[in-house]
Amino acid sequence: MKVKLKFLNINRSDLELEIEGEKTFSDLLESIGINPETVIILKDKTPLPSEDKIVEGEYRVVRVISGG
C-alpha cells in the first residue's frame, strides 16, 4: 500500500512509501528515525494513536512542542 507523509514543524522532506504487511504508525516512524512520542499523526485533521494500523492514504506528521 502507498502511504504519503507530510512533515510539519520537522526539518524533513515529504515521503511517499510503499508499505508491506500490517504496521503501526509507531513502527513506521521508528523505521525512519522519528521517536513516535515526539509527534502527532493527523489524517484529515483528526489525530490518530501511534499504535493504529496504517491504511493507504496521506498523513501529516506534526512535531509536538512542549515547555514549562
Residues whose CB falls within 8 Å of the CB of residue 43, separated by 6 or more in sequence, listed in order: 57, 58, 59, 60
Residues whose CB falls within 8 Å of the CB of residue 18, separated by 6 or more in sequence, listed in order: 1, 2, 3
Domain enclosing residue 42, as ranges: 2-63
47 is a domain residue: yes
What H or E segment, with its residue span, contains residue 4? strand 2-8
pLDDT tens-digit map of 15-40? 999 999 999 999 999 999 999 999 99
Residues whose CB falls within 8 Å of the CB of residue 28, separated by 6 or more in sequence, listed in order: 3, 17, 19, 54
58 is a domain residue: yes
pLDDT tens-digit map of 48-62? 999 999 999 999 999
Tell me the CATH number at 21.
3.10.20.90
Q: What is the pLDDT of residue 1?
A: 94
Global pTM reads: 0.88
Q: How many domains in the chain?
A: 1
CA distance 39 to 6: 12
Q: What is the pLDDT of residue 67?
A: 77
56 is a domain residue: yes
